[in-house]
Structure 1
Amino acid sequence: MAHTLDIISVVCDDLAVYEPLLNMLISAGCVPYLFHSAHDFLNSKRCISTSCLIADVQLPSTNGLDLHELLVASGNEIPTILLLAELDDDNRARALKAGVPHFLRKSFINGELLACIKATLKDRTTLRRAP
């Protein structure tokens, strides 16, 4: 049986966050793809194969939560983890209502993010794997 790897798409324009995040995902055995905007992600073919989406809530234009809501509305619900600078009650409530149970402050510890990814991948209903 062939081994498959989880594709983790990261939508973030914060250099201080995404470079260490990509290195950590590679070390964890994931296949990360970086997108600097929701537009870049939506126009890629990665929407189809993404196992888990990690998206920044503070993106210009379409933010991470908006992106998740757009994907759900289009019938392409991808398990999502949101990155936030501040975890306020409004964002928390909106995320939970949109079906995003996992969100982290940008000062996350690698173990926290890996635990969120593991829980997100375990909870997903549709398997999305790369050959």
Structure 2
Amino acid sequence: MQSEKSQAENMHRRFISLAAKRDWDGANKLIANDYSDEWDNNREEAVQTASELLQGFLYLNIEWETTEVTANQGIAKVRGFAKMNGSGGGFSSQIMSTVNALKEPWVFTWRKESWKPNSWKLVSMKNEEVKKMGF
């Protein structure tokens, strides 16, 4: 059986993959109903914002580099960096440049909803550097 750390990191990688594919229905299923973030988004607002930010991409790949995973009693934090590459119109190149230049890691907090290894749900995410930029 996988450790909580491995389970949470696997769900996180699945979530990143769904976001890169812009599969918002799939990504939404991995987000907790009580999700909230430092930008005051709830679950629906977070998915809507991500959808709007990434809609201009014709092609998008998001590579995730995990720097640390901590897990304790059904709560896990996955820290790391996202690197984006792709092509598209609108603000696509600016979004890629901004994300790829971040020095502070993203922190995603996951909660295990049941005994099942795939029951992890995203409850929050943050990035201090992005917050300081005013986004």
TM-score, scaled relative to structure 1: 0.31
Q: Answer with 1 or 2: which has the greater Rg.
A: 2
Which of the pair is proportionally richer in strand? 2
